[in-house]
A and B are shown apart, each in its own frame.
Chain A
């Protein structure tokens, strides 16, 4: 709690305490903590003298500002029309079956979270997804399986 307070205060010192500072502060929190917790939002509200609900409203508007804890690897599959027409549904089905979770969930070991997102700017090579900051394009179910296996192996050898 005290840490969050420090973090938010630092970000407010850096970005200011006006309405315009809200987004950079929220991005700063995500950068540090991956998601924006209830406590963090309350601190932001306090620093900017706005309501906590307003912070929540802004945070939930943007796909990259998370309000729930996420896994170590966040998979974001593009759901926008071009990727959809190129078969993002099959990609998601495959991911769900490999990871044994549904869309929006995190694996029990806390490693993977599966989400959808809006256009990633890779429409010409759809379907596309991001794993953390790494883009993957022209996906097929087979390709997806391989990519996930690669991450899983990486995790096992790291332990």
Chain B
């Protein structure tokens, strides 16, 4: 192509498309330039300056992440001048940083620490300013800890919350030496519009934003003689956990994960996928009920479109941003909370353990799940339905602490009663997955036939396109559903709250006539969740997504309504979808929240 630019980096010739940055050009020839504020998912900020390089013939140092390449450029990434500048920049950052690495949650996983070690930031740098800074730590939220003494003001979090999530719960406040990353009036994170999605946590290069960890609580439950510990694992954990334990992205580690959980000492190792299937039954029926009321009975008190409710970041978002649309949100609880409610009722009875002696733990790709488990509504068993939520990263840490060599573990199977799942449940972990799972079931309920897609793979709802609208024509219905004959079922899938916001604005303004909308707060869906291994990038999300759809293909059962344990649960306990027991245990309500 003619619009290629030719340049030299450290005397190596590179040819790259015009508009590319020096950083991208260097990457192409396998030269690593350090970065801090730069992140693949975000716009360039160019504020940290650790990526500086030298252009031959110029005295100014250039930020490689922000500088486009020019024809004939000669760049040195490793001159004395560059090295000195980088070292000083890191030293300056450290001089304002409470660098107590040995006590820091990010120890060993911190980008600033890595750079400090690479550039040997010694004792004789700049004066330590930490004592004069009056930093504060906000650890009031059940999900996220914000420690200003660890913040290097790279603003990855601010850009994440703005660009990916359209929330801007975090902003840059004050100026000069007083400049800081702040919420509205510096209020605690749990009081403001923050959805706890953890996307900022996943991108923060330091220990300034981290998940609140419950490892100690879980270890003590595991070591207690009187407690029966139950663990559930979300769909997206099994395709990402390996990354945090030294494996390449896209590895399916379901069997090893089950083995590891047993080795850690969990008494029952069960699967959130089981209640993902259950969610499809409850939510699918809710959709059909609403369609019936709207299309057949012309009942205008019933709201369409119906939106999904399994992503707690999305739920908190709509509570803050579109309270008038809360009646559109499915009342079905998320799979995590359905699971929690059943563990201390149905399951407790089955295994003859008193619910007060059960400690229910969930492993989630998500930091918002911690907040969800803490909601006052989530105690329908009479106890806290889910006691502790751990992220994928925390589980990886537990496995390391226990000295388990993960890669060499044999595969194992989930326990029964609430451990069986279909492929439809696995794909909950990818954007579009809930929609696909719901369609596989709802279409069959209404027509008595399988969805008209090759191998049950509803490809149009898959992928990473921001917003995907797909309609499916319903034909030759069963007599009971005659009012749906010929109806074009209009669906929409959005991931990342920026995209969700766009869709919901259209719904609010009457510009969209969807019947059913799937929304996931995180880019890519749960597989790109805030609790997933760091880093997460577009390429890694793609790998995880492929793994999820492979796992679906490998499952003998592909449709939620064919999960034998779910069928059994209805026969023995719930009786019918949307029935009385379901209402009590599996459905919830929402709360309007403040605008800040």
Name A's B-contacting residues (CB within 8 A).
Answer: 38, 41-42, 45-46, 50-54, 56-57, 60-61, 67
Q: Is B596 positioned at the interface, with any CB of A under 8 Å from its CB?
A: yes
Contacts of A60 in B (CB 8 A): 173-175, 182
Give the docked Cα–Cα distance between A46 and B595 (Å).
8
Closest to A63 in B: B175
Contacts of A50 in B (CB 8 A): 168
- Residue picked from A41, A51, A60, A61, most chain B C-beta under 10 Å: A51
Q: Is B193 positioned at the interface, with any CB of A under 8 Å from its CB?
A: yes
Q: A38-B596, A45-B595, A67-B185 are in contact. Are A52 and B174 (CB under 8 A)?
A: no
Q: Cβ of A53 and Cβ of B174 under 8 Å apart?
A: no
Q: Cβ of A53 and Cβ of B170 under 8 Å apart?
A: yes
Q: Cβ of A57 and Cβ of B596 under 8 Å apart?
A: no
Q: Which residues in chain B, 582-596, are within 8 Å of chain A measured between CB atoms? A: 594-596
Q: Is B171 positioned at the interface, with any CB of A under 8 Å from its CB?
A: yes
Q: Cβ of A42 and Cβ of B172 under 8 Å apart?
A: no
Q: Would you mind naming 22 contact pairs between A and B with Cβ atoms under 8 Å apart?
A: A38-B184, A41-B184, A41-B596, A42-B596, A45-B595, A51-B167, A51-B184, A52-B192, A52-B595, A52-B596, A53-B168, A53-B169, A53-B183, A53-B184, A53-B193, A53-B596, A56-B182, A57-B172, A57-B173, A60-B173, A61-B173, A67-B185
Q: Cβ of A56 and Cβ of B184 under 8 Å apart?
A: yes
Q: Name the distance in Å between A90's Cβ and chain B's nearest Cβ.
A: 22
Contacts of A61 in B (CB 8 A): 173-175
Q: Give the bracket for the number of chain B residues in contact with chain A.
A: 10 to 19
Q: Cβ of A42 and Cβ of B168 under 8 Å apart?
A: no
Give the docked Cα–Cα distance between A38 and B174 (Å).
16
Closest to B505 in A: A49
Contacts of B594 in A (CB 8 A): 42
Give the docked Cα–Cα distance between A108 and B185 (Å).
24
Q: Which residues in chain B, 163-213, are within 8 Å of chain A measured between CB atoms? A: 167-175, 182-185, 192-193
Which 4 pairs from chain A and chain B are nearest by CB?
A: A51-B168, A57-B171, A52-B596, A53-B171
Contacts of A51 in B (CB 8 A): 167-169, 171, 184, 193, 596
Q: Cβ of B184 and Cβ of A52 under 8 Å apart?
A: yes
Q: Cβ of B596 and Cβ of A45 under 8 Å apart?
A: yes
- Please give 17 more A-B residue pairs, beta carbons under 8 A apart, in addition to A42-B595, A51-B596: A38-B184, A38-B185, A38-B596, A46-B595, A51-B168, A51-B171, A51-B193, A53-B182, A53-B184, A54-B168, A54-B171, A56-B173, A57-B172, A57-B182, A60-B173, A61-B174, A61-B175
Q: Cβ of A52 and Cβ of B193 under 8 Å apart?
A: yes
Give the docked Cα–Cα distance between A57 and B192 (Å).
14
Q: Name the distance in Å between B322's Cβ and chain A's nearest Cβ.
A: 12
Contacts of B167 in A (CB 8 A): 51
Contacts of B169 in A (CB 8 A): 51, 53
Give the docked Cα–Cα distance between A38 and B595 (Å).
11
- Residue picked from A52, A53, A57, A60, most chain B C-beta under 10 Å: A53
Q: Which residues in chain B, 140-166, are within 8 Å of chain A measured between CB atoms? A: none
Contacts of B183 in A (CB 8 A): 53
Name B's A-contacting residues (CB within 8 A).
Answer: 167-175, 182-185, 192-193, 594-596
Our pick among B171, B175, B595 for the contact of A56 (Cβ within 8 Å) is B171
Q: Name the distance in Å between B184's Cβ and chain A's nearest Cβ.
A: 4
Contacts of A42 in B (CB 8 A): 594-596
Contacts of B184 in A (CB 8 A): 38, 41, 51-53, 56
Give the docked Cα–Cα distance between A54 and B332 (Å).
34
Q: Name the distance in Å between B198's Cβ and chain A's nearest Cβ.
A: 18
Q: Name the distance in Å between B148's Cβ and chain A's nearest Cβ.
A: 15
Give the docked Cα–Cα distance between A53 and B173 (Å).
9
Q: Name the distance in Å between A82's Cβ and chain B's nearest Cβ.
A: 17
Give the docked Cα–Cα distance between A42 and B185 (Å).
11
Give the docked Cα–Cα distance between A109 and B170 (Å).
36
Contacts of B168 in A (CB 8 A): 50-51, 53-54
Give the docked Cα–Cα distance between A53 and B192 (Å).
9
Contacts of B182 in A (CB 8 A): 53, 56-57, 60
Contacts of A57 in B (CB 8 A): 171-173, 182
Give the docked Cα–Cα distance between A38 and B182 (Å).
15
Give the docked Cα–Cα distance between A41 and B168 (Å).
14
Give the docked Cα–Cα distance between A67 and B172 (Å).
15
Q: Cβ of A56 and Cβ of B185 under 8 Å apart?
A: yes
Contacts of B170 in A (CB 8 A): 53
Give the docked Cα–Cα distance between A105 and B21 (Å).
49
Give the docked Cα–Cα distance between A57 and B583 (Å).
44
Give the docked Cα–Cα distance between A46 and B322 (Å).
12
Give the docked Cα–Cα distance between A117 and B348 (Å).
65
Contacts of B174 in A (CB 8 A): 60-61
Give the docked Cα–Cα distance between A46 and B193 (Å).
13
Q: Name the distance in Å between A116's Cβ and chain B's nearest Cβ.
A: 11
Give the docked Cα–Cα distance between A149 and B168 (Å).
46
Q: Name the distance in Å between B520's Cβ and chain A's nearest Cβ.
A: 21
Closest to B180 in A: A60
Q: Name the distance in Å between B558's Cβ and chain A's nearest Cβ.
A: 42
Contacts of B193 in A (CB 8 A): 51-53
- Residue picked from B167, B193, B594, B595, most chain A C-beta under 10 Å: B595
Q: Name the distance in Å between B163's Cβ and chain A's nearest Cβ.
A: 13
Give the docked Cα–Cα distance between A51 and B172 (Å).
12
Give the docked Cα–Cα distance between A128 and B217 (Å).
58
Give the docked Cα–Cα distance between A61 and B174 (Å).
5
Give the docked Cα–Cα distance between A38 and B173 (Å).
15
Q: Name the distance in Å between B511's Cβ and chain A's nearest Cβ.
A: 16
Give the docked Cα–Cα distance between A50 and B595 (Å).
10
Give the docked Cα–Cα distance between A38 and B187 (Å).
11
Q: Name the distance in Å between B183's Cβ and chain A's nearest Cβ.
A: 6
Closest to B175 in A: A61
Give the docked Cα–Cα distance between A45 and B185 (Å).
13
